[in-house]
Amino acid sequence: MDPMISPIASRADAEAADAADALAPIRERFAVPEAIYLDGNSLGALPAGVASAMAEAVNQAWGQDLIASWNDHGWWTLPGRVGNTIGALIGAAPGQVMCGDSTSVQLFQALVGLSRANPGRPVLAVDAGDFPTDRYITDSVARLLGLTVERVDPNRFVPDGRTAVVAFSAVNFATGELRDLAGITDAVHAAGGLMCWDLAHAAGALPLDVDGLGADAAVGCTYKYLCGGPGSPAFLYVAERHHPSLDLPLAGWHGHAEPFAMADRYRPAAGIERARVGTPPILSMIATEAALTVWEGVSLSDVRAKSLALTDLIVTFADGHLSPFGVEVVTPREHHRRGSQVALRVPHAFELSRALIARGVIGDFRPPDVLRLGVAPLYLRHSQVWDAMEILAGVLAANEHLDAVFARRGGAVT
Ligand SMILES: Cc1ncc(COP(=O)(O)O)c(C=O)c1O
């Protein structure tokens, strides 16, 4: 296990860490919520510059300039521009990332595209514990292409000569476990397979190097650590070496070599431009582009160091103060196996997540018994995380969460 770097074990320690925090000024770039927000791994906080960018897009570009805005306000080039900005955050050289659609759609594109690039092999491998959409899309792609899905444990998976494509998440959505990205990618390649990483819980949470890894494709969303807003468009990375023969399933007109020639047949655009599909959600993508400016001048090594300090704080506090209440840390303790969240297994986790919200601490619940606490280093303070843990201890000690009011499960989103 890696050593913990000066673990924060008191509020004074947390205040000292805030005073020394290289990322503290970045918080000013956000309209931070009043609550202690530990759910940035689900929906990131609102960057302060988004509102004016949206007002300009609505009032001027849409309201006045209308159709001319495709050229005059750069709407046509927006998906590739935002793609390149995301690329810089995941270690992709320009021209390999396209922004658009949802992660589910991009995963479908990637898995079909990579399967077609690796014919004659019958197996798609997916993490048995991955986010549902990853499992569902993989199953559907296999049905479509006549392949077989193997649901595997990424830590024990051994690819072989039957492996066509492997789809794993870099960080598991429930446990927060960070996979061995390099080791897995190398093993898949050694067996002749192709590797697609889902970076939903990794992009903006830790330094990534998709080019250096040699990943074949990667997908991810922009509404978590990248703070693009509710429903903000996802991204697809495909390594340049695959571009010339890349045969994506969604042959939409925006990905055509000459979209305005209105040709009879599809002919893919060169490079990653072929990963465009149809008309993108321009307003949402403008919000995403404005949101991504919060990353200017931010070092992802600083983000990672602060993220580990914050998750160490939660782990240390849980071990020291919460085990009498049946709380167990699920997330790996080794830094190299941890993303930017801590999953706590706890009795009545749903009710606890609700009671915490009533006390101004927003985390979330994942079935059957996990309280997820995500830490987004750009806008969280160490002292806030300390306070959240003290509030959590107080709620558990007083059994506040057992009040019947917190057991109610109304609405589609739990
Ligand atoms: C690993 C992973 N993939 C995909 C998604 C979401 O996909 P979509 O953008 O299609 O809703 C999530 C959402 O939390 C996720 O955790």
pLDDT of 275 higher than 70: yes
* pLDDT of 232 strictly over 60: yes
CA of 388 to the centre of ligand 1 (A): 26
Residue 216 has pLDDT above 80, yes or no: yes
Say if residue 167's pLDDT is above 70: yes
pLDDT recorded at residue 409: 85
Does the pLDDT of residue 113 top 50, yes or no? yes
| pLDDT tens-place string over residues 12-63 | 999 999 999 999 999 999 999 999 999 999 999 999 999 999 999 999 999 9
Residue corresponding to tokens 């503290």: 24
| Nearest CA, atom 8, ligand 1 | 103
At 389 the pLDDT is 98
**Residue 253 predicted with pLDDT over 70:** yes
Mean pLDDT of the chain: 96
Rounded average pLDDT over 170-197 = 98
131 Cα: distance to centroid of ligand 1 (angstroms):
7
| Model confidence pLDDT, tens digit, residues 326-336 | 999 999 999 99
Closest-lying ligand 1 atom to the alpha carbon of residue 223:
9
- Spot the catalytic one: 130, 198, 312, 369: 198
**Which pLDDT value is given to residue 3?**
47
| Percent over 70 (pLDDT), the chain | 98
- Across the range 219-231, mean pLDDT stands at 98
Q: What is the pLDDT of residue 410?
A: 75
Residue nearest to atom 9 of ligand 1 (CA): 103
- Residue identified by tokens 């495909």 is 238
For the chain, how many residues are written? 414
Q: What pLDDT does residue 7 have?
A: 84
| Residue ID of nearest Cα to ligand 1 atom 4 | 103
- The answer to whether 314 and 179 have CB atoms below 8 angstroms apart is no
Calpha distance 206→148 (Å, rounded): 33
311-347 pLDDT tens trace: 999 999 999 999 999 999 999 999 999 999 999 999 9
Instruction: Give me the catalytic one of 121, 224, 274, 306.
Output: 224
Say how many CA atoms lie within 13 Å of 181 toward its Cβ: 28
As given in the structure block, the two tokens for residue 261 are 């020639």
Average pLDDT over residues 182-207: 98
HEC assignment per residue over the chain: CCCCCCCCCCHHHHHHHHHCCCCHHHHHHEECCCCEECCCCCCCCEECCHHHHHHHHHHHHHHHHHHHHHHHCCCCCHHHHHHHHHHHHHCCCCCCEEECCCHHHHHHHHHHHHHHHCCCCCEEEEECCCCHHHHHHHHHHHHHHCCEEEEECCCCCCCCCCEEEEEEECECCCCCEECCHHHHHHHHHHCCCEEEEECCCCCCCCCCCHHHHCCCEEEECCCCCCCCCCCCCCEEEECHHHHHHCCCCCCCHHHECCHHHCCCCCCECCHHHHHCCCCCCHHHHHHHHHHHHHHCCCCHHHHHHHHHHHHHHHHHHHHHHHHHHCCEECCCCCHHHECCEEEEECCCHHHHHHHHHHCCEECEEECCCEEEEECCCCCCCHHHHHHHHHHHHHHHHCCHHHCHHHHCCCCCCC
Task: Locate 171 and state its tokens.
Answer: 């960080």
User: Residue 249: its pLDDT value, please?
Assistant: 98
Q: Whose CA is nearest to atom 6 of ligand 1?
A: 103
Q: What are phi and psi of 379, to 5 degrees?
A: -130, 5
**Residue of 131, 237, 365, 379 marked catalytic:** 131
* pLDDT for the residue 413: 66
Q: Is the peptide bond before 280 cis (omega within 30 degrees of 0)?
A: no
Residue showing tokens 């024990």: 156
CA of 198 to the centre of ligand 1 (A): 8
Q: CB atoms < 10 A from the CB of 35, how many?
A: 15
Cα 131 to Cα 411: distance, rounded to the nearest angstrom: 21
Least confident stretch, 187-191, 233-237, 407-411: 407-411
Residues linked to residue 165 through DSSP beta bridges, in sequence order: 124, 194
pLDDT at 412: 67
Task: Tell me whether residue 198 is one of the annotated catalytic residues.
Answer: yes
Ligand 1 atom 14: residue of nearest CA = 42
Report, as an integer, the average pLDDT of 372-386.
98
> What pLDDT is stored for residue 294 in this prediction?
98
Which pLDDT score is estimated for 414? Answer: 56
**Is-catalytic flag, 241?**
no
pLDDT in the model for residue 1:
40
Average pLDDT of the residues in 88-106: 98
For residue 134, how far is its CA from the centre of ligand 1 (angstroms)?
Answer: 8
Distance 133 CA to ligand 1 centre (A): 7
Residue 223 annotated among the catalytic residues of the structure: yes
Protein residues whose CB sits closer than 6 Å to any atom of ligand 1: 102-104, 131, 133-134, 169, 173, 198, 200-201, 221, 234
pTM for the model stands at 0.97
Span from the CA of 103 to the centroid of ligand 1 (angstroms)? 6
